[in-house]
Structure 1
Amino acid sequence: MESKAFLERLRKFDAYPKTLEDFRVKTFGGATVTIVSAILMFILFVSELNFYLTKEVQPELFVDISRGNIKMKINLNITFNNLPCAFLSIDAMDISGENQIDVEHNLYKQRLKLTGEKVEDEPEKHEELGDKSEELVEGVKKELDPNRCESCYGAETDDKKCCNNCEEVRDQYRKKGWAFKATDSIIQCKREGWADKMEKQKNEGCNVFGYIEVNKVGGNFHMAPGKSFQQSHVHVHDLQAMGGEKMNMSHTVHHLSFGEEYPGIVNPLDGLHQIDQKICAIQSKLT
């Protein structure tokens, strides 16, 4: 009895008394209100969840005083419609005195036909024509002596007595101020097929993509035809190997950004298509 009395007293605390089933009336209007309310609650739930999961970007401008080994990436993807990959060099320089001549790391070149189709399925790493350490003898590859000392063809200097590949011969010629033209008389260039490669890619385009790492200081980077080098504190591009031909620098910037990517950023040069008007005018006169 005492337990029943306790339960009765406890039931009096119910602030939400229920009506009997006989007094409950279910209508179409009430069903409509219930469905509409459920839909609105679901929409509000999804909206609030989406807002909670969305990243909020807050732009902030400040002076970056970090120096040392911290580098900034320049991400790029540019197509030169009428400039072969073998003719193109990429350089970066800044006011701190660091010059990256013919940047090799983290950049790739994709050879293209003039119609825009790929010449090869796989892009090649952007690097200089270097020592292959092998040569073809009657169709068979033969390893070269790594300790050999080949001629610089009269361009030797006190600090450079040996030229074991075509690029080293070219560098020595530039230091002497001599014009360079790869002929069969230069064994290193003939072995590496330097002239054949230049001739083979003559009527092609090139897609350059990847990234460059630079210091966080004022500077510039550029892409230009010809082998680049520094001489007497002057930045020079050697165009002797191109035979004096006019270069068509028409290009399309697919992507160009600085630093790490983050959502919502707008890169103003993306999609830019630039036509070399001088070359087009010359071609139209010839036709």
Structure 2
Amino acid sequence: MRRLTKKKALTLVKELDAFPKVPDSYVESTASGGTVSLIAFCLMAVLAFLEFFVYTNTWMRYEYEVDKDFSSKLRINVDITVAMRCQYIGADVLDLAETMVASDGLKYEPVNFELSPEQRLWHINHSLHVVFFLLPHSEDSSTSYTACRIHGHLYVNKVAGNFHITVGKSIPHPRGHAHLIKVAVAVMHEMLKITVLTCRCATAYNFSHRIDHLSFGEGIPGIINLLDGTEKVSPDSNHMFQYFITIVPTKLNTYKVSADTHQYSVTERERAINHAAGSHGVSGIFMKYDISSLMVRVTEQHMPLWQFLVRLCGIIGGIFSTTGMVHSMVGFLVDVVCCRFKMGIYKPPKVNEIVIVKTSL
């Protein structure tokens, strides 16, 4: 009974075989079949090779969510050169809550604004890099520096604010803050809450500048900031340069780097200060920034191994099945046409054929 049961089970399993074996005596090898097989194998190899490259590559996935971190500080990284002496200008930040941020993290370094050809080439090559080196000075440069390089970083509240560089050093003021030079003649700018104290209101100021680096948050290799390498030359004596910046918090997670940084977009505007013509304001460089409430999460992704194997099996099986079907259809059509010719269906009739019919009376 057990033997009968085993035989029935084996017979049932054999009937369920989806891959029946054909004896070699019933298999016919043809030149056309070999050609199609060779083409199929080459196509499989090429597509499998390309699929392997897709498997080894990575891509970035972008997700958007509400930024819930409002208590942390925002880091501003600055490296800017202004065509004025360091003792005449000052840089600080005033946020939307009229809180003046101390600029202790900024350093003032006397430099020359005009670059030599070697320095200009260096600036072009390195202005878009994340790691910035000190600009090399030429040996024949004058010791009388006419410009000021302001570089360093500041930590501010995550609210809208105004980073500005204007005449004088900043001091506390009941209505905001003031920039003091030496003596006390005040020119109040109500919109920006900035007071410039100077002895001569008609003094000419040159705020031509070069932005070597401006970023927000942690520095990450490979990120290009929009204002890096920007150079503005003032066409007249008193000029206002404005940059309206929108900052987007960004969380970056890759296989090499994981950091919280910020991207930004910028709109530029500049105009001449001429009180007689009705163009009021304060000469200087003003960077008004606002922080977006949405955060971008950038994640580096990689194709999993199981998905690669499934796609590879799909490529091999699909090509094998498709080429087999195409070969069978082409072979069937060729056989049909050849058989019709062999049977004489397309044999042309004789034109002058005379049929003689004999009848017996």
RCO comparison, higher one (Cα < 8 Å, 6+): 1
Q: In proportion to residue count, which structure has more strand?
A: 2
